[in-house]
Chains A and B, each alone.
Chain A
C-alpha cells in the first residue's frame, strides 16, 4: 500500500557499487539453479583499490618521470598513508613543500628518490634537506577517452 505522501519526498538514488547477495533458494522442482549455492557479491572496485579508507587519498600525477613504472601524466594515484614505506615502494614524498612521486631506494640507511625514466634525474637529499615520505602509492588509475 502506498499513500500519496510517499511520492512527495524524493527517493534516494545511490551511486555506490551495487552488491547483490544471492540467498539460497528453496526450489523443490524443476532444473536447479546453478547459482543457488554460490552466494555471490558483485566485484567492488573501491574494495580492491582501498585497503585503509581513512588513510587513502587520491592525487593526480603530472609529468613523465615515472612512465617505466606505469605512471603516466594525468593518472590518478591511490596513496595509502597507513603503509610503512620500504625500499622499492613507489611513494609520494614532499620535497621543498611540493608532492613528488618517485621510487624509494633505501640502502645502508641512505635514502634516494629514483625516477622511473632514464631521462630524468634522481633526487638525493642535500645536506640539511629532509625528504618526508607522505604516503605509499598502491595503484594508478588511467582513464581512456571513450
Chain B
C-alpha cells in the first residue's frame, strides 16, 4: 500500500503562512523572471487562470478582480517543504520525496485505520507547518496518485465525488460499486503518466474515463499502445509495477535556458549569459555522472515584441566527450560568436548538452593536442569537483569562468523578481514582524 501526500497549491499555501491577508484572495506565484503562473490559489483557478498562463495575459485581473501575483520565493518553499516532508514521513515506514510538494509513503506493516491515521497526519501538517494537503491511498503508486487527485477535487469542488473522500481518499477501502462510480466520474487524462497526447488518442478511441481504462486488457494495451501505458493499466488494476525510489534514468540531454529580465543586445553580455548557462549545464551533467558530446547554443528575440525577429541555433560537436566546464564554455562561446548578429534585442538564450554518455567510459587515444593528456583529464576532474563544492557551499556564482563577467551574481540578465516576499524562515534580517502595539 502507498500514500501520496501532496501540498495543496503549494507555493501559494507557503506564501499564505506568513501573509494571512492573502487567504481568500486570488493569488498566483510567477516563474523565474515573473514570466508565467506556476501556482494558483483556488480563487485564481476559479477566475479561469490556467497553469502556465503568461503573466502579461492575466495581469489585467490585478485591477478587475484583486489578483495578487508574487515572484517565486524558493528559499521559503524549500524550508516549508522540508518541514512538511518530515511530518509526512510519520505516516509509514518508508518515504520517497517525489517533488517539492509531493512524497510517496510506503505503508507496508502499518496497522489500524489508514484513513484515520492519514487525517491525523494531515491536520498535524496543517497545524504545525501551516500547509493544507491532500492524501491519497491505494495499493499502487498510480492508484495513490489518483486517490490524491480525488481527495483534492472532492475538497475543492463539492459534488464531483462523495464528500467523505475530501482531503483523504483511500481507494482500497471503497466498496466495488463506489470505486466504480468514482472511476466513472474521473477523466482518463487525470491518471499519472497519461499525457495530453495519449489522453487525446484514448478519448478518440472511446476510452474516456478511468473506469474505461481499468476495464481494458493489459496485453491489448501493450500491442495497441505501449509498454508504458500497459504498466499504467496494470497499476490501476492493482498490480504494483512501480516501486518506491525507482530511480529515473539519467537524462539524455540537459538544458539551461532562460528569458532575460531585460533585452540584451551586445555580444559581450550574451557571452556572459552563455558562459553562465553552459557552466550550469556542465555542473548538472557532472551531478548525473555524464559526459556531453554535443553542445547546442541558441539565441532568439521575443515573439511577443514588435521588433525585428531573429532566432538561430548551432550545434558544436566536441571531439572528446567531456563534462569539463572550460571545454564546454569554450565550445558554447565559439558557437555564440558564429550565430550572433548585431542590431537585435535578444530576449532568450540557452545551452543544451546532448548525446550524453556515462562518464565511466573514456576512449583512450594518442595525445594529439597539447595539454590534453589523460593525466590532465584527471587533474581537471578534481578541479571541477572543487568548483562544484565551492559553489554549492557559498552559493551559485561564487567561482565562475572569467567570461561570465565579474559580479556574475548581480547581472541585469539574471532573474527578474519584482514581487518576491522576504525569506521569512531562512534569513535573520527577513523575520516576519509580530506587532506589539
Contacts and interface: CB of A to CB of B under 8 A. Distances in A.
Contacts of A54: 83-84, 86-87, 128-129
B133 to A, nearest CB: 13
Q: Which of B128, B389, B431, B434 has the most CB of A within 10 A?
A: B434
Contacts of A73: 436
Contacts of A104: none
Given A55-B128, A82-B128, A100 B389 contact: no
B75 interface: no
Contact of B436 (A12, A58, A61): A61
A97 B386 CA distance: 47
- Interface of B, secondary structure class, is helix
Given A10-B393, A82-B127, A94-B20, A65 B382 contact: no
Q: Which 10 A-B pairs have the closest CB atoms?
A: A97-B21, A55-B128, A63-B436, A63-B437, A54-B83, A101-B434, A94-B20, A60-B431, A99-B434, A65-B436
Interface string B139-155: 00000000000000000
B100 to A, nearest CB: 16
Given A9-B386, A10-B386, A57-B425, A98 B130 contact: no
A101 B433 CA distance: 9
B130 A62 contact: no
Interface in B379-437: 382-383, 385-386, 389-390, 393, 424-425, 431-437
Nearest to A8: B382
Contacts of B393: 10, 12
Contacts of B433: 59-62, 99
A57 B432 CA distance: 9
Interface string A40-71: 00000000000011110111111111100001
Contacts of B129: 54-55, 81
B127 A81 contact: yes
A99 B127 contact: no
Contact of B435 (A58, A79, A82, A99): A99
Contacts, number: 91
Contact of A98 (B127, B383, B431, B435): B435
Nearest to A73: B436
Contacts of A52: 128
A103 to B, nearest CB: 11
A59 B382 CA distance: 43
B437 A65 contact: yes
A111 interface: no
Given A9-B389, A82-B128, A98-B21, A64 B436 contact: yes
A62 B431 CA distance: 11
A120 B389 contact: no
Interface string B57-68: 000000000000
A36 interface: no
Contacts of A66: 436
A106 to B, nearest CB: 18
Nearest to B378: A5
A76 B433 CA distance: 9
Nearest to B436: A63
Contacts of A62: 433-437
23 contacts: A8-B382, A8-B386, A9-B382, A10-B390, A10-B393, A52-B128, A54-B129, A59-B431, A60-B432, A60-B433, A60-B434, A62-B434, A62-B436, A63-B435, A63-B436, A64-B437, A76-B431, A79-B434, A82-B127, A94-B20, A97-B20, A100-B435, A120-B437
B385 A9 contact: yes
